[in-house]
Structure 1
Amino acid sequence: MRISESLAGFRVRSALLAGCAFALGATPALAQDSDEDTASSAPPRGNVIVVTATKRDQTIQDIPFSINAQTQEDIQRSGSVTLEDLSRNVAGLTIQNLGPGQSQVAVRGVSAGQVVRDQPGVKEQVGVYLDESVISLSLFTPDLDLFDLNRVETLRGPQGTLFGSGSVGGTIRYITNQPTPGIVEGTVEANFNVLESGDIGAHLKGAVNVPLLGDTITARAVGYYTEYAGFIDALGPGGGEDINDGRRYGGRVAVRVDTGEGVSFTPRILYQKVEADGFNRQEIFNLFANPFTTTRPPVQLGEREQYLRLQEAFEDETFLFDIVAEAELGPVTLTSVSTYINRDILVSRDASALTGSVSVDLGYPPVAVLLPSNLRDTTDLETVTQEVRLASNTDGRFQWLVGAFYSEVDRVYTQRLPTPGYAAFTDATLGAGTSAAVANGFPNLDSPFNSDLPYDISQIAVFGEASFEVTDALTITAGGRYYDFEETRTITTGGLFANGDSGVVDETSSDGFTPRLLLSYEVNPNVTVNAQASRGFRLGGVNDPLNVPLCNAQDLALFGGFQDYDDETLWNYELGVKTQGRNFTFNAAGFYNDISNLQVTLDAGSCSSRIVFNVPDAHTMGIEAELGISPAEGLNFNLSGSWIEAEFDTTLPGALAVATGIREGNRLPSVPEFQLSASGSYEWPVSDNADAYFAASFTHVGSRYTQPADQENNPRTFVHGLPFAGAPATASTTVDLLLDDYQLINLSAGIDFDSGLSFVIYANNILDENALLSFDRERGGRARLGYRIGQPRTFGITARQTF
């Protein structure tokens, strides 16, 4: 046996035993319960959260693996408006913010590096669902409005059995409130908020549930409009104050038709559009705004500042239609889920510094270097999915579920770099006719880079899961999924910066089987111990060719040999405990993930390209715990936290290790080692018809790296090497690439009237922490360096009326 294998086994045992010991350490409190409470099988007093993580209704305490559910009340009282906000209250869940509508989700430290807008072939590591419909899309995790949600479920660990590829780390499920027969109800909510920068935001939202035909047909409609306040100021001709403001608007309508004979249909339409006028980027160097220039005024960019020659924008328009049909067929239930999704996404960036840095290298005159250049990335997505499953619906010891899944994804990704006047300077500097010679059929000669990348991805899968109560205390669950993928990608590129690929077709295919085994043992009605072994997978793919004309010789030699990458697989081993007693719950788990062929995303230095390649071995291990307690009437405390060790177990040879950071013992990117959230609230009556409450929360997010290579030669000195506007070729900027930990403190107070009217005032990030969320660089620091940052101190008031 290799030493590494022995150490891996030791780590598995250590993590699981530590998690179990940590969890069981809380159980003596149960001994203080009365004998009557201990003997009773009834649930403890307080809220009982029902989830559908196993595609059947179960309480969260009965789910035989680690899961978190943030309820509608949790969402409202925490003031969360995005999944990133929610993630800070969920142990083991991290979000890497890369700008509006652009984020990466990681669960339990399973993360492979920063995926940016120009990597459409990369698959997600965490699956995202809206109720029964899969809505995942790598990088562009849908930024759905959280209004009128019943809950958000976080399923930790691979969920490949029931949820397929893209759930290698876990699954996130937005669960909406469904049409409810027989009642008329609704909610109207208005908000007004002010940021530390002085910009103002607001929203208006509403939901209504209406029976249309007795208990047979019921409709539920939701509409919302949100105006986001900006907090980034930009210098330059494309700048201004609060340039990253934006808006989100849309709605959904669901209609439930119940025949009264065990058959129901619920069609739904969702439309949403997100718009942002800029990005939450704080720059520390820009080719056009830096302290090194002499023929242009030197500039030192400050906190929450950037430089723009052109205004930027982000748009994401989403249309979804799905229909869920259910039929009770005696002892079984037949469920069909049909989904159609169309998304149109635009990322419009000021690429003037990027294009200008290449122009300096090519010897263009200063007037050409200063040309405004607009990089426009567009994604046109159409997805069709169909799932059919059959499940038992009896109360017997044996429960089972089998199903089949099909999906067809057409994703057309394009890039254009319109730079008016660029062709004339190209021809004057590099020779007459150069722009036309490299165009490769693209008509705009003033666009030095163009690409069309259509993807066609098809998948079929069959899956099943069964559980058997061996005894009243012991339940065994086993399941598996067979999958078959085929992906076809065609690439055509043109322009001075491109390779001139003409309709090059690459195909990727994969099939396999992902099993899962779960053991659940009920120590007593209030304590359950769970163990799990499960496998997850992520489909491989093909890298885009490097932008060879932009690469220096060293980067071309290092990164030029990676054409495709294999499937990523993961084995998850975990041991957990779930406890509940008089007015408290405590859930914890220890886990070890053994990852093979981890798909790591890297910035290919000066090439302005990114590639993915496989790292043979990596692991994550850790402990996650969540405690909820109500020591007195109206008083509630919640504590959640995680410790995660996420590291590479492979060292790449020679210069690749330094260039990529793939070295045994180095951390996986974007994941904090420690994350902690603590919150408390107290509610008390202020009159016969009103209750008031006060709430506070504290969040700690540990230090992280954006990319694996950031931990090599850190702090890093970026030599800009661009003698533009009198800046010396030796000009450099030194940056500590370890993103600092940050702490957020939020406060809120409110009053709820029996009439359904409520008011909440709140202050978020009261210490005005300037949280660094990810590091941003262009052309290896030759064009631009900066950070994505979080929202500053915010004060707001929300009024809500339910009826």
Structure 2
Amino acid sequence: MPPSRRSRATKKTGGAFMPMVTTRGRLVRGTAVLALMAGAPPALAQSAPPGGSPPPQGGFIEEILVTARKREETLQDVPFSINALGQAQLRARGAETLEDVSRNVVGLTIENLGPGQSQVAVRGISAGQIVRDQPGVKEQVGVYLDESVISLSLFTPDLDLFDLNRVEVLRGPQGTLYGSGSLSGTIRYITNRPTTEQVEGTAEAGIETLKDGGTGWSARGAVNVPLAEKAAFRAVGYYTDYAGFVDAVRPDGSIDKNVNDGTRKGFRLSALVEPTEGLSVVPRVIYQKIETNGFNREDVFNILANDLTPTTDPQRLYRFDERQQFTQLEEQFEDDFLLADLTLEWELDAVTLTSITTYTDRDLLVVRDASPLTGSITGQPGSFAPGGLPRSVYSIATPLNDTTDLEVFTQEARVASNGDGPFQWVLGAFYSDIERTYAQRLDVPGFEALTGIPTAGPLAPRDVLYYSLIPYDFKQLALFGEGSYDLTDQLSVTAGVRWFDFEEERVLNFDGLFADQSIGQAGKTSSDGFSPRVIVSYAATPDLTLNAQVSKGFRLGGINDPLNAPLCSAQDLVTFGGRSSFDNETVWNYEVGAKLGFAEGRGQLNLAGFYADISNLQVTLDAGTCSSRIVFNADARTMGGEAELSFQVTEALLLAVSTSYTDSEFTETVSSVGAGGAATVVGGIKDGNRLPTVPRFQFNASANYEQEIADDLLGFVTATYQHVGSRYTQAVDQDPAAVGTVTRIPIGGQPATSFSFDPKLPAYDIVNLRLGVRRDTWEIAGYVNNLFDENARLSLDRERGFRARVGYQVIKPRTIGLNVLTRF
């Protein structure tokens, strides 16, 4: 008879849970720690040293411990699709950002808008790219740093991955335990906590150079110091100098090289105090600041750029080179992130009490060149003058400043069982209060003096043609509970539910010549309800577990910003007007899976299949000529499967592959009546069209070979291959009538020539190599990322519905680097 799940015991050592050797453990080469799964790596019976490098040979391969269900259990015992990458895997695969993580985890995709501006999607549940001026849209995937939520719609922090224990990716709705932000899944960064065991530390330095780009470098360090028998302190610090790789063409024809360079610096300070037996207190402070001088955008069309090219052919547009853009000013991104939290855990005889208090203060600044947007309006015939305003006006360099000031307070308290009986449970309460102020300001210096048109308004200063200020107050209260019961040694049932109550209030303030003036307009939305989950798990054999589940995800609706009516065409006012709000989004997820061990513990295979029914998907659309964004609701569905396989071929060679197929599409059509009375599809929301941002097919593979080349000296090489299929950035990109061919606005009396581009983002393939040598206390490694210099297009960038600018966010070019690490 298969062993009970409770036989896979854990023990607590030095304030951290460590896995015990189980009947499934096999004595194999300890250097194969990189993964028994492509995304489900084994843990070792001995702990890995700081820095994430594998320990010396001789360990037992173990299933890693995770806390996906608010309690510690082995990865293979979690009865749904989950992936976990340890720091050794992240280093070996060249993963430095959340986007890099997504290319190593099937079913996870990232929409890239630049550092600190990534959007996450899981299993094809995506409504399209959320742009900078949509602060009311909530996230679909919850992102947590340990127990503290850090996701925020568009602006998911791009945290440094140094001194992490692991990254957990929970696929499918996690609304029961993690709330509305986890509509389609949850990502958890799990850091290394302070330990009273010993003094230990890591120092790391690296340098890299980019093909046709700059040179960057980094320095990182971590130290753990026991302060007493019951106290310890851990400090992590890091600094990264990002190399740029995009060149900017300026109005005078000069070229500034590598304008998207920047820096990231930060620290994590945490302490552990154990005042009494079973009680731990962990205060922590985290600070990070990112500054970049531009964005990884490659332009293919810019309404102002053709003026740079002297030619007798008036139909010719400026031809941009690869990784080149046109800007009239320096763009900028800043992200100041501060998080302070306090975790209390008290382990009693039968239960464990946990409290997590978190405060977040975050300030973001995005400065982008809005000259093409402004020029497309002021130079357009009939907007301000019959033939448009002159070039001296429409070519003014105009920065658009986006600012977000955010303060978040959250409190979670829960009680969980900690015994070995057949019934395991957790009950808790969660409260959050978010105060957020979002503002935009479009400065057009000298506009009033050159045109004589008054520009100052009640809120907008002189020469500020667009001004917005939107304060938000968002409160959430939730109660949740989940329990698992072993009906037999083989059969287990899990059931849980979350009750939530949300309330959001905001005040709309819009002013300026480009805006539909609205001052002090209050808005409010609220909702309450339940998110349940039921899971059945059956251990058919000691090495095969079958799982099935039904779960519900939820995302709160919101209030649309008003259209910029002065810029809208008559038809766009009809199509996009009258949509002051959008409804709540819900997902019902149905999933089956299998987790199999084979070849006497040298291989593992995880399979999952899913179907998700999505009601009121919140779809982002550009409102045509209005330079506005409006959220529509539409029904959709997604279905597919994931497979993750790994095999220890020999004591030295480990192979791992994983793949996913996702078929996600709309199940209804949203239409509007055109000027001639005929119905037309709005924004590509058509029954059968694909949901945006998500590839149908993902595949990744890795091979790790390690061999002793001298006494206590280990040589290693890791190769990874990642394939990401084609996809669309927004739903409208599938509408051939609206996207793919742009008729240029005839500013300055120029002819209204057309420009064609491909809105479909092509599939791309990335190969990374890493090789080096290590001993117990140091490691030297060289690497090549993006070996074949793939210029992958990550998202489609547009300005004023493609009329002013078309570009693509692109991946880093071939990167060659060297990394040195030492441990003590």
TM-score, normalised on structure 1? 0.92
Tell me the distance in 2 between the aligned counterparts of 1:440 and 1:780. 29
Residue of structure 1 aligned with 2:655, choices 622, 629, 637: 637
- Is 1:680 paired with 2:698? no
Alpha-carbon distance, 1:715 to partner: 9.3
Matched letter for residue 247 of structure 2: D
Question: How do 1:422-433 and structure 2 match up within 5 A?
Answer: 422-428=447-453
2:199 corresponds to which residue? 184
1:494-514 superposed Cα distances (whole Å, 9 cap, x missing partner): 111011111100000000000
Aligned positions of 1:574-723 closer than 5 A: 574-581=591-598, 582-615=601-634, 617-654=635-672, 658-713=681-736, 716-723=739-746
1:554-576 alpha-carbon deviations (Å, 9 max, x no partner) = 21111112110111000000000
- After TM superposition, list the pairs within 5 Å mapping 1:21-170 onto structure 2: 41-45=23-27, 46-170=61-185
| Matched-pair contact (CA < 8 Å) for 2:171–2:184 | yes
Equivalent residue, structure 1, for 2:37 = none
Check the 8 A contact 2:501/2:528 in 1, yes or no.
yes
Distance 1:293 1:488 in 2: 53
Distance 1:734 1:293 in 2: 21
Query: Corresponding residue for 2:410?
Result: 385
Matched, 1:301 2:320: yes
> What SS does the corresponding residue of 1:74 show, helix, strand or coil?
helix
* 1:704-756 CA distance string (max 9 Å, x none): 01111111117944334422345302x111112111100011111011112x1
Q: After TM superposition, give the deviation of residue 101 of structure 1 in Å.
A: 1.3
TM-superposition CA deviations, 1:625-656 (whole Å, max 9, x none): 11121111021111011000000000123557
Alignment of 1:448 with 2:465, yes or no, is yes
State how far apart, in whole Å, the 1-side matches of 2:523 and 2:469 are. 14
Structure having the larger proportion of residues in helix:
1
Distance in 1, Cα, partners of 2:397 & 2:237 = 39
Structure 1: how far apart are the matches of 2:499 and 2:448?
52
Aligned-pair CA distance for 1:683? 0.1
Q: In 1, distance between residues paired with 2:450 and 2:583?
A: 42
Match of 2:434 in 1: 409
Give the AA of the match of 2:324: E
Contact map agreement 1:440 1:493 (CA 8 A) in 2: no
- 1:313, 1:146 → 2: CA distance? 23
1:343 aligns with 2:325: no
Counterpart-to-counterpart distance in 2, 1:763 and 1:177: 28
Which amino acid in structure 1 is aligned with residue 537 of structure 2? S
> How far is the alpha carbon of 1:79 from its aligned partner?
1.5
Deviations 1:312-340 (A, max 9, x none): 00000000000000112320111000000
Equivalent residue number for residue 552 of structure 1: 569
Q: Quick check: 1:293–1:725 contact (8 Å CA) kept in 2?
A: no
Q: SS in structure 1 opposite 2:747?
A: coil
Residue number in structure 1 paired with 2:423: 398
Matched-pair identity in %: 55
CA distance in 1, matches of 2:591, 2:216: 43
Question: In structure 1, what residue type is equivalent to 2:356?
Answer: V
Asked if the contact 2:379–2:748 (Cα under 8 Å) also holds between the matched residues in 1, the reply is: no
Gaps spanning 5+ residues in structure 2: where?
1-21, 28-60, 674-678
Task: Tell me if the contact between 2:232 and 2:271 (Cα under 8 Å) persists in the aligned partners.
Answer: yes
Which deviations, in whole Å up to 9, do the C-alpha atoms of 1:452-472 show, x marking residues without a partner? 001100000000001110000
Q: Which amino acid aligns with 1:344?
A: D
Matched to 1:402, the amino acid is L
Q: 1:240 to 1:109 in 2, by over 3 A?
A: same
Asked whether the 8 Å contact 1:239–1:311 carries over to 2, the reply is no
* Farther off after superposition, 297-306 or 580-589: 297-306
What whole-Å deviation, never above 9, does each CA across 1:153-197 have from its counterpart, x for those lacking one?
000000000000110110000000110112111110001000001
For residues 607 and 423 of structure 1, the distance between their equivalents in structure 2, rounded to whole angstroms, comes to: 22
Q: Which residue of 2 aligns with 1:33?
A: none
The answer to whether 1:753 aligns with 2:775 is yes
Three-state SS of the structure 1 residue aligned to 2:379 is helix
SS in 1 for 2:455: helix
- Deviation of 1:100 after TM superposition, in Å, equals 1.9
Which residue does 1:467 correspond to in 2? 484
Q: Secondary structure at the match of 1:105?
A: strand
The answer to whether residue 289 in structure 2 is matched with residue 269 in structure 1 is: no
Scaled by the length of structure 2, the TM-score of the pair is: 0.90
CA distance in 1, matches of 2:643, 2:584: 31
Answer whether contact 1:658 1:709 (CA < 8 A) is retained. Answer: no
1:218 counterpart = 2:232: yes
Cα deviation, 1:270-290, whole Å, max 9, x if unaligned, reads 000011100001001111113
1:352-390 alpha-carbon deviations (Å, 9 max, x no partner): 111111101222111001111000000000000000000
- State whether structure 2 residue 270 is matched by structure 1 residue 254: yes
Paired with 1:720 and 1:552, the residues of 2 have a C-alpha distance of: 15
CA 1:293 to 1:716, structure 2 compared with 1: closer, same or farther past 3 Å? Answer: farther
Shift of 1:231: 0.6
Distance 1:383 1:692 in 2: 47
State the Cα distance separating 1:479 from its structure 2 match.
0.2
User: Is the CA contact (8 Å cut-off) linking 2:669 and 2:681 kept in structure 1?
Assistant: no
Q: Is the 8 A contact 2:354 2:413 kept in 1?
A: yes
* Structure 1 equivalent of residue 44 of structure 2: none
User: Structure 1 unaligned runs (5+)?
Assistant: 1-39, 429-433
| Rounded Cα–Cα distance in structure 2 between residues aligned with 1:447 and 1:44 | 69
Give 1:50's aligned amino acid. Answer: L
CA offsets 1:411-446 (integer angstroms, 9 cap, x no match): 100001112101223435xxxxx323xx1233x211
Superposition CA RMSD, Å? 1.6
Aligned to 2:816: 795
In the alignment, does 2:271 pair up with 1:289?
Answer: no
CA contact (8 A) 1:527 1:577 kept: yes
Q: Cα distance 1:566–1:257, how it changes in 2: closer, same or farther (>3 A)?
A: same
**Pair 1:780-2:770 in alignment:** no
Amino acid at match of 1:70: L
SS at match of 2:498: strand
Offset from partner CA, 1:575-627 (integer Å, 9 cap, x none): 00011232111111000000001111111111111111110x21000010111
Whether the 8 Å CA contact 1:293–1:724 is kept in 2: the answer is no
1:91 Cα shift? 1.2
Alignment partner, residue 245 of structure 1: 261
Q: Verify the 8 A CA contact 1:221 1:252 in the aligned structure 2.
A: yes
1:231-282 Cα offsets, whole Å, 9 max, x none, are 1001015951000011100010010101232111000000000111000010
